[in-house]
Structure 1
């Protein structure tokens, strides 16, 4: 459906990896689907002194491989390139921002400034935009990580908040745009079947995993100063946790949804530094084999210090101190160079209190809901059923909602959904400042304890599921990670 919202989308970092792999492919898919106003324009900004032809050749080479080849039409691709204009810009030259302002003056519509840059450039860019009057009738999109800790995050938010109002600021977390996350909200709040079960009386534990096969690739310098806790837990995992556990909002407007997520983040049980070794596991990958190929140890990756103690793996036991979830353990896990690329939420329901059908009906995990976010997005409900034949023998069966099979229309990628939400001015799937502060405040004791140097990351071989201590932590609660059970 074509949008009536006219826009000018200004992409800082317009030659960078994120722009090439995610942002411009998402805008192309929206363009191909007819979801963008025909008058909307995309202005890409970077420091290279290129003309329009050089930039379009760069896009042809680096963006086209990341778009779907199904029905890819040369005329549609050319019409997408015609939306684009390139502006070479030196952040240190005020006159370059005057040139940008004059370029944007040619176009009508809401201005969207997407900062696909490092966080140290957020404030200088925002101030330069303000100096030439480009902070009015505008929206600003900030990529993570937003800061290094609570103090630095607040410093960035304070500075950006002096230039843009909170309702103009879109802090993006692409996991919130994934189809199964949206369907989780629909599943919980539109079906009377699930709501009575979504509480401590019926849920035994919940696991949230974001696992990657890749290492740090070309991001060694960045990652070695960041680590998995800052890169994944403080944002993606805590946001998913808040979506899974929040109370029903009175509506789906932006502040109603974000108010409920904030209540969850504020209800996270604080972690005492003395307990961190019991509820938090950090690891670092060593050399190993993934899908038959040898991969190097983290400490030998380009840009990584040989004596680095940066964690590439984190597993946490989390508790929520509120009426609905008190006493339920939540296990969060993320890591690089793991055995598989998978992101999923696993809701383990309690066993029946008594079974007339034998001990098999009392086994853990008999009833569970598995929400797969990647690579194949789906929702699967497991239950027990009688096997055909003589006797009352039970087997695990599942009911599937496989989106690609049930819905014939193509799925919308996370970045595509979120970019359209920015253009339309919808804030519900973006992180509000008070949410971000609550998340940083909760992780800080872990950051401080690990920074003290009293312990080092536990080693794990690339191609495995992380340190054994991660499994041991769950075993203390009589459970295990999903792949260990299977």
Structure 2
């Protein structure tokens, strides 16, 4: 099949997708998550024609009517999707929006919810019923208990519950939350969302590895020297001190997003493309990650906190001066760590990760660095030969690049590093969908491939719990100025291994 025909075939398959009719009950339908992520995603799916027959029922506080909710939703969309907002399309979209004022802690409000669900669905079993928990985690058990009490969970055919992170604050709390969910729902009804797995470049790690015979034979300890995962943010905590003082950078990013990225890079080929086969292989990676010894944690982890500095030519406050942060807070806003996977494929290969707030710029990438050639066959001028590297750039650009060495033109034998680049926008001429678009569509399709499973959540917590415990005991942090690439100690940390961080 020609390239043009392949492209046309793929686009046709995408454009013909239509979600079956559904009702999404959004607990916290007027909250921050719904304003910035959920409603914009649903609007874009409607604009693209992926959803047509549906109802979004916001359920929670503050008190407002459906008309008021629709007016607010318009403002939220204009603020968050800007030029993608379309007034004419919104007039149609708003007809699908309803709001029910409710204190989520009061059981009597769930009787009203039960009535509203019956009014909307008319008990039609063809309705795809989804509960989206866009609320703080402490409300999860209360909501689940009340839904179960009204027989709106396991006994409701086709019902699903979508749960946002953080899923607990350690392994013990995550296990308790899982038990609470499983009292009311079956595991295949529970969608623990991690939007990072919905990002196009992240998904392409899977296709890059298993869709090309060229790379998979090299994807092991025999050829790969190290792997670096960078998730750098130039923003601070953005008025979320209450959340961040409890979450820290470890719970906010490492326990979920970064460990999922490690699993995607390191997993074995699944037996097939089924959701359980894929999730089983990710779980095997989690089970194989070397446990952190608290006594040796300082050799494997560096944590820091940002001070006042300058980001994007603008002076910014240090973490301790952020609104709502305790003046003596020892909460880390940066972490660099080294993970090992104890299996045949990856034994001895370090997985370096770093993530933090108020860094030089926003950058998310996965870099696979291969080993150097065993002999310097090209002479003394080639002593600084660059190692081959495959880079999956997730932000700010979405691309995959392969770095290799060529001869520089001229009479001398001088090596020169070059990149072969696949860029999404230049190849496909379309904007890549938001990560939430993909995961919501998968939830509508009952595809759990990109969602975390009970055992995965608990194992990921068991991996990071020793880091959290070590920090809670010592609470020693390296300081770094806002606008830099992280603390000096993080550079020293990787230099000890005779390696260096990639520059972002």
Which TM-score band applies after superposition, normalised by the shorter structure? over 0.9
After the TM superposition, which of the residue ranges 9-18 and 190-199 deviates more from structure 2? 9-18
SS of 1:392's equivalent in the other structure is coil
Partner of 2:486: 466
1:163 and 1:58 map into 2 onto residues whose CA distance is 33
Partner of 2:61: 47
1:302 and 1:66 map into 2 onto residues whose CA distance is 23
Q: TM-score, normalised to structure 2's length?
A: 0.93
Closer, same or farther in 2 for the Cα pair 1:445/1:4, shift >3 Å?
A: closer
2:384 and 2:188 map into 1 onto residues whose CA distance is 49
Partner of 1:84: 97
Partner of 2:72: 58
Q: 1:124 aligned to 2:138?
A: no
Partner of 1:115: 133
Partner of 1:271: 292
Q: 1:220 aligned to 2:241?
A: yes
List per-residue Cα deviations over 1:127-151 (Å, max 9, x = no partner): 1111222112311111111111111
SS of 2:23's equivalent in the other structure is strand
Partner of 2:316: 295
How many residue pairs get aligned? The number is: 481
SS of 1:440's equivalent in the other structure is helix
Q: 1:9 aligned to 2:9?
A: no
Shift of 1:182: 1.1
Partner of 1:327: 348
Shift of 1:74: 2.4
Residue number among 146, 152, 157 corresponding to 1:134 in the alignment: 152
SS of 2:25's equivalent in the other structure is strand
Shift of 1:2: 4.0
List per-residue Cα deviations over 1:391-445 (Å, max 9, x = no partner): 3222111111110110123321100000111111000000001011111111111
Mapped contact 1:141–1:170 kept (Cα < 8 A): yes
Closer, same or farther in 2 for the Cα pair 1:61/1:194, shift >3 Å?
A: same
Mapped contact 2:19–2:441 kept (Cα < 8 A): no
Q: TM-score, normalised to structure 1's length?
A: 0.96
**Contiguous gaps of at least 5 residues in structure 2:** 1-15
Closer, same or farther in 2 for the Cα pair 1:77/1:45, shift >3 Å?
A: same
Partner of 1:234: 255
2:401 and 2:235 map into 1 onto residues whose CA distance is 26
2:475 and 2:20 map into 1 onto residues whose CA distance is 53
Partner of 2:83: 69
Closer, same or farther in 2 for the Cα pair 1:360/1:226, shift >3 Å?
A: farther
List per-residue Cα deviations over 1:46-102 (Å, max 9, x = no partner): 2122111111111111122222625x5322111111111111111133232121121
Partner of 1:483: 503
Query: What CA RMSD, in Å, does the superposition of the two structures yield over aligned residues?
Result: 1.4
1:360 and 1:308 map into 2 onto residues whose CA distance is 51
Mapped contact 1:352–1:362 kept (Cα < 8 A): no
1:383 and 1:32 map into 2 onto residues whose CA distance is 42
Partner of 1:29: 44
2:440 and 2:163 map into 1 onto residues whose CA distance is 12
Mapped contact 1:20–1:59 kept (Cα < 8 A): yes
- Give the alignment of 1:282-361 within 5 angstroms: 282-359=303-380, 361=382
Partner of 1:144: 165
Closer, same or farther in 2 for the Cα pair 1:359/1:98, shift >3 Å?
A: farther
2:385 and 2:182 map into 1 onto residues whose CA distance is 49
Residue number among 182, 193, 211 corresponding to 1:161 in the alignment: 182
2:73 and 2:87 map into 1 onto residues whose CA distance is 14
Closer, same or farther in 2 for the Cα pair 1:17/1:313, shift >3 Å?
A: same
List per-residue Cα deviations over 1:129-184 (Å, max 9, x = no partner): 11222112311111111111111111111111101111100111111000011111
